[in-house]
Structure 1
Amino acid sequence: MMERVCVGAIAGAFGVQGEVRLKSFTSDPSAIADYAPLTTEDGSRSFEVTISREIKQGFAARLSGVLTKEQADELRGTRLFALRDRLPSLPDDEYYHTDLIGLTVVDTGGATLGTVRAVHNHGADDLLELAMPGQSKTVLLPFTQAAVPTVDLAAGRLIADPPEGLIE
């Protein structure tokens, strides 16, 4: 498990006073400021976050040390990370996406199906993008109790029972 978790990204400047457009990747989007200080991926910069207001596709926010539109524009595309211990604990049947990425996926018979490459959510259930061994294609596996009955983070694997015909 990673020590830091990506919780948001800066989409650019908002206005001319140094505010940024902030996209939140947290389950309660407005809670992103509660996890501060947020750092850049390489850890070289750290920010306190104050949300000014909700805007289309995110928030207008102030980041400590960002005072001008130019400074805000320079941060466009920057992903923001929080320390894992600042995040809330999850129930037993919920997982942070970052913990699932890289896990080996095996079928109920123990045969390796692939590795979790990414987790997607387009409004319904989560989908696990599996990188198939020896293939360049990927497969999207529904992340439901029926399709993935067992998640074993300690062993670094998922046991899957994919819908018939999904994986050939």
Structure 2
Amino acid sequence: MSERICVGAIGGAFGVKGEVRLKSFTSVPEDIAHYAPLETEDGAMEFDVTLDRPIKNGLAVHLSGIATKEQADALRGVRLYVPRDRLPSLPDDEFYHADLIDLPVFDTGGTQLGSVKAVHDHGAGDLLEIQGPGLKSTVLLPFTREAVPTVDLEAGRIVADPPEGLF
């Protein structure tokens, strides 16, 4: 399991006074400020977060040390991380996306289907993007109890019961 978890990404400047558009990956978007300071992936920069207001597709925020539009624009696309121990523990049936990435996926008969490339949420529930050597392209598997009855982080595997014809 990863020692750091990605909790957001900067979409660029929002306004001319150093505000940024921040896309939060936390279940309650505003909670991202509670986990500050947030770090860049390489750990070179660290930011405290001041929430200003919700905006379309994210939050308008001030990041410590960012005072101009140019500084904010230079951060476009930067992903922000926090140490895992700063995040709350999850119930048994919830998972951090970072813990699912790269896990092998097996069918109920024990045949490996592939591994998790990404986790997507397009508004109707999470989808696991599965990639594998036997697949022509990636497959989107609904991340529901019916399609994914078992996620075993200790054993490092997912057991799936995909809908007929998906694989």
Please tell me the root mean square deviation across aligned C-alpha atoms, in Å: 1.1
Identity of aligned residues (%): 70
- Equivalent position amino acid for 2:82 in 1: A
Distance 2:119 2:5 in 1: 14
Distance 1:15 1:80 in 2: 20
Distance 2:155 2:67 in 1: 46
Tell me what 1:100 maps to: 100
Instruction: Please list every run of 5 or more consecutive structure 2 residues that lacks an aligned counterpart in the other structure.
Output: none
Q: Note the alpha carbon deviations across 1:38-95, whole angstroms, 9 max, x for none.
A: 0001111000000111222211111111111111111111111111111111100010
Residue 49 (1) aligns with residue 53 (2): no
1:95-134 equivalences in 2 (<5 Å): 95-134=95-134
Distance 2:99 2:144 in 1: 16
Superposition misfits of 4+ residues, deviation over 6 angstroms:
none
Report the TM-score when normalising by structure 1.
Answer: 0.95
Q: Secondary structure at the match of 1:90?
A: coil
Q: Secondary structure at the match of 1:93?
A: coil
Q: Secondary structure at the match of 2:99?
A: helix
Contact 1:151–1:159 (Cα < 8 Å) also in 2: yes
Tell me what 2:70 maps to: 70
Q: Secondary structure at the match of 2:71?
A: helix
Distance 2:132 2:48 in 1: 40
- Equivalent position amino acid for 1:108 in 2: T
**What is the number of residues matched between the two proteins?**
167
- Equivalent position amino acid for 1:118 in 2: A
Q: Note the alpha carbon deviations across 1:112-166, whole angstroms, 9 max, x for none.
A: 1110111111111211111022444111111111111111111110011111111
- Equivalent position amino acid for 1:151 in 2: V
Distance 2:107 2:158 in 1: 8
